[in-house]
Structure 1
Amino acid sequence: MDAYDYESLADRVILVTGGGRGLGAAICKLLAQEGAQVAVVDVNRISSSKVADEINQTGGAAHAFTMDVTDEQAIIEVLQRTVDQCGRLDAIVNNAGVDVTIGIREMETSDWHRVLATNLTGPFLLAKHGLAHMSSGGHIVNIASTAARRAWPNASAYHASKWGLMGLTHALHAELRVMGIKVSAVIAGGMRTPFLLDRFPDIDVDLLQDPDNVARAVKFVLTQPAQTVIPEVMVLPMKETSWP
């Protein structure tokens, strides 16, 4: 783009991790509807391809990539392939996340490392290596959780990762502003996605929000005027139970 249009997603190239299902898929589809070219990145090749195919079949533009966000070399390669296929990189949405619901006495050390590697180190690596491809006007959006604002039992690794992600977000916001790079966190309350529904089949879905609504918040953050950045925004269902 000759003149960067901050208030439009048209022609922007946006990479979304965990894009194969749930919130990630909702983000990919909405951004594509708004004219962005989307790199759908997921650890599951079939899932990322399915979302990309749905976008392309409905007139959008998407490319599917298979990548584990804990694999630094894979991140470097997929970032380069995105730029090679799309021409540039304008934004990264760090959405991929995992959780393990277990008390600290029973938690394996490997579980701790897996959650931290996916939810915190992954966004760090995407930002670190993504900056090589971003110019002024770029944007990094980290998907956080109400787990970054309060705590409940049997989720120590998840809480640590999401509180850490908020710290990373604000640190990069302070560091990268001078380069014209925006950094934001979208703190999402409970959603009707496999992330919750697969693990808690008895959960009351009426207390959860549609992931499309959180995707709208991502779009909102990405389309602020040049002079404005939103460091964080919280999006809750009206009946949110994990927040007062």
Structure 2
Amino acid sequence: MDDSLARTQCGKDKPAARDPTPGPLAGRVALVTGGAQGLGAALCRDLSEAGATVIAGDVREGKAQELAQGLRAQGYSAEGRALDVGDPASVSTAFTDIIAHHGHCDVLVNNAGTDLTVSVEEMPIDEWQRIIGVNLTGPFLAAKAALPHMRRQGGGHIVNIVSTAAKRAWPNASAYHASKWGLLGLSHALHVEARPLNIKVTAVISGGLRTPFLLDRFPDIDQATLQDPANVARTVRFVLSQPAETVIPEIMVLPMRETSWP
């Protein structure tokens, strides 16, 4: 997690004054899955700054609540809630609650992700199913729950956070690759189905990030080959800020020294 996010969540800095100018996402309600830390936290912060009401959904409800509290202290509209994207009941309840409370849900960012770095031979079947469940089935469940609401309200935007793991492969990441290649395909399939309903779908393919997802598992990684998650969050804001007549189906954001992409 970058230092600015850490300070915001821990409350060690005096909250900055909120810019009173309405942001480009003013009036929109956005659900960010895996929103408690890392890229999810950066997304919640950036979308809040852009004027959206943000719901950080995460299995770590306490961390999601802490993040939301920090954003509210800065004058933004943010909520934290428990959300297990691999559980159909949890996903359904989240959308029911959001619609009941806010009346609409305009943006879904499928960001939650997980991995296990082992070979195919060493991969336990239950771990394979867990990774696929979070990284691929989770976005399917969330999109399936979001689409009826977005259709009734006349539009919306689904952003799927993919990875360069959907474009090439490296050892000991079979489930992660399978899920991210699948998510890229799902994203484009959703794009085709949703366009006639005035619903935009975008796959944001992110290169390596300086977040706990990588740093906790690979403490010796060269951080110079990674990028600040805030940079990807700004790209998501850019995608969401396009005119109504324009949709970006796919966009890639890489660190300048990324080693996982030519």
TM-score > 0.5 by shorter chain: yes
Match of 1:227 in 2: 245
Question: Is residue 111 from structure 1 mapped to residue 159 from structure 2 by the alignment?
Answer: no
* 1:70-123 Cα deviation digits (max 9, x unpaired): 110111111111122222100100000000100001110011100100000000
**Which ranges of 4 or more aligned residues in structure 1 deviate by more than 3 Å?**
none
Unaligned runs of 5+ in 1: 1-6
Matches within 5 A, 1:2-81: 8-81=24-97
Question: Is residue 152 from structure 1 mapped to residue 170 from structure 2 by the alignment?
Answer: yes
Match of 2:3 in 1: none
Tell me how far apart the structure 1 counterparts of residues 45 and 103 of structure 2 sit (CA, whole Å). 20
**CA RMSD after TM alignment:** 0.9
Tell me how far apart the structure 2 counterparts of residues 34 and 17 of structure 1 sit (CA, whole Å). 18
Tell me how far apart the structure 2 counterparts of residues 85 and 237 of structure 1 sit (CA, whole Å). 39
Match of 2:218 in 1: 200
| Pick aligned residue for 1:181 from 181, 191, 199 | 199
Q: TM-score, normalised by structure 1?
A: 0.96
Unaligned runs of 5+ in 2: 1-22
Q: Give yes or no for contact 1:70–1:122 (8 Å, CA) kept in 2.
A: yes
* 1:141-198 Cα deviation digits (max 9, x unpaired): 0000000000000100000000000000000101110000000010000000000000
Q: Give yes or no for contact 1:37–1:86 (8 Å, CA) kept in 2.
A: no
| Pick aligned residue for 2:228 from 196, 210, 232 | 210
Deviation at 1:11, TM superposition (A): 1.1
Matches within 5 A, 1:68-107: 68-107=84-123
- Aligned AA (2:159): V
Tell me how far apart the structure 2 counterparts of residues 176 and 78 of structure 1 sit (CA, whole Å). 21
Q: TM-score, normalised by structure 2?
A: 0.89
